[in-house]
Structure 1
Amino acid sequence: MAAPAPHPPRIEDGIGAALRDLRQSRGQSARWVAERAGISAAMVSRIENGLVSPSITTLEALARTLEVPIATLFREARPQHSDYTLVRCGEGLKSTRITDNHRHEYVNLALHSRKDLRFQARRVTLLRDSGPPPNYVGHGVVFVQALSGEAVYLYGKQHFTLRAGDSLSVDAELNHGFVEVITPEFEFLTVQAERP
């Protein structure tokens, strides 16, 4: 006789696990959380043990008490799958970006697209003689680490000269990007994370 199929994880169990982790990471008792959220300590215990399905009002009170977005209480209730990308040395998806008067090579190292986050990492090579690189305006955060060479990065009205080993992170809301390549070749790693 075949074993029964496993039950999918219950959302109540996920909410309970998230609440317990958040509470314990702050060193707070169930009674402390209950008093500030306006519910009983017994209810906090029942929620943490997955015995009840709390109302949105109760979840909002708990999230406010723990100073987190309400969505944080659902973090353990996600589907039981995840993706990963392993790129070995010298590998990756090689691409070329062409604009009106510029061209550069880059290698895609990672790309993850979820409903709440878009994440990408690239290794980019700029050549001094390939014309002015493009600038960008977007959302989220951009991280840049210079791997070799020297170039000037624009962020809003500020200019930063980056050399091998230097790194910079910026909010993507302002105009940003490399505006001058000083050495014959400049290679850098760029990582961007944003909400879709």
Structure 2
Amino acid sequence: MSALPSSNTLDAALGSALRDIRKSHSLTARALSQKSGISAAMISRLERGHASASMATLNALSQALNVPLVSFFREIATEHSDYTHVKSGEGLVSTRLVGEHSHQYVSLALHTRSELQFEARSVTLVRQDSHPPQYVSHGVVFVYALQGQAIYQYGQRDFILNPGDSISVDAELSHGFTEVITETFTFLTVQAERR
């Protein structure tokens, strides 16, 4: 069993995370002070690791920055981390049925963190009379064409994808393949979204 981090280490890690989050929101310490009710001097001391934050202070800062409380602890070492290593030809094979349409996909990775979900799949579409499904979701979607040719629709725009082509889209707008031009079409898709 490893030793717990010292309070100095915790304060420094929390301060570093706070500073990164504040800057990612394009806020000065003074602006964050006005939003959170925590003095700019205290925010500065916290960010430099020169003070320990109470739970009330952390809660006020998390609400002002609109981030989960756990975001402040992301740089503190943990006893575990997850990884997925899928060998060639392996993965979890699934079949999706949508009305008359069906296609197979292989799940290659799924990672769920406190504020992010990431999923990667290899998908094979077979040309058939029924159309593949359209999707509306959250986050972003990346598609990389591996074999064959198909038409991808994003909103009202159509894109012909050939091997080596890729497209990335905001998932909030309707998207998906509308036609498989060759007998089969295989692609890699990656979706990431805030939980």
> What is the TM-score of this pair, normalised by structure 1?
0.74
Say which SS state the counterpart of residue 128 (structure 2) adopts. Answer: helix
Name the CA shift for 1:57/1:160 in 2 (closer, same or farther; >3 Å): same
Q: Residue 6 of structure 1 aligns with which residue?
A: 3
Q: Among the aligned pairs, what percent are the same residue?
A: 47
Deviations 1:45-102 (A, max 9, x none): 5642354226349957xx98xxx96866443247443211011111111111112211
CA contact (8 A) 2:46 2:53 kept: no
Measured after TM superposition, the shift of residue 123 of structure 1 is: 0.4
Task: Tell me the number of residue pairs that the alignment of Structure 1 and Structure 2 aligns.
Answer: 180
Say which SS state the counterpart of residue 129 (structure 1) adopts. Answer: coil
Q: Residue 29 of structure 1 aligns with which residue?
A: none
Measured after TM superposition, the shift of residue 17 of structure 1 is: 3.3
Map of 1:137-176 to 2, 5 A cutoff? 137-176=136-175
Map of 1:40-119 to 2, 5 A cutoff? 40=41, 44=44, 47-49=47-49, 51-53=51-53, 55-56=57-58, 59=61, 73-77=72-76, 79-119=78-118
**One-letter code of the match for 2:97?**
I
Name the CA shift for 1:50/1:81 in 2 (closer, same or farther; >3 Å): farther
Listed as ranges, the gaps of 5+ residues in structure 2 are: 34-38
CA contact (8 A) 1:103 1:130 kept: no
Say which SS state the counterpart of residue 4 (structure 2) adopts. Answer: coil
Listed as ranges, the gaps of 5+ residues in structure 1 are: 27-32
**One-letter code of the match for 1:75?**
R
**One-letter code of the match for 2:121?**
R
Say which SS state the counterpart of residue 107 (structure 1) adopts. Answer: strand
Name the CA shift for 1:122/1:35 in 2 (closer, same or farther; >3 Å): closer
CA contact (8 A) 1:13 1:77 kept: no
**Rg (Cα) greater in structure:** 1
Name the CA shift for 1:79/1:134 in 2 (closer, same or farther; >3 Å): same
Name the CA shift for 1:88/1:15 in 2 (closer, same or farther; >3 Å): same
> What is the TM-score of this pair, normalised by structure 2?
0.75
Supply the distance in 1 between the matched residues of 2:103 and 2:58 (Cα, whole angstroms): 50
Query: Which stretch of structure 1 is more off in the superposition, 185-194 or 48-57?
Result: 48-57
CA contact (8 A) 1:151 1:161 kept: yes
Supply the distance in 2 between the matched residues of 1:130 and 1:107 (Cα, whole angstroms): 23
Supply the distance in 2 between the matched residues of 1:70 and 1:95 (Cα, whole angstroms): 33
Say which SS state the counterpart of residue 102 (structure 2) adopts. Answer: strand
RMSD: 3.3
Name the CA shift for 1:177/1:44 in 2 (closer, same or farther; >3 Å): same
CA contact (8 A) 1:47 1:53 kept: no
1:179 aligns with 2:188: no
Supply the distance in 1 between the matched residues of 2:95 and 2:29 (Cα, whole angstroms): 56
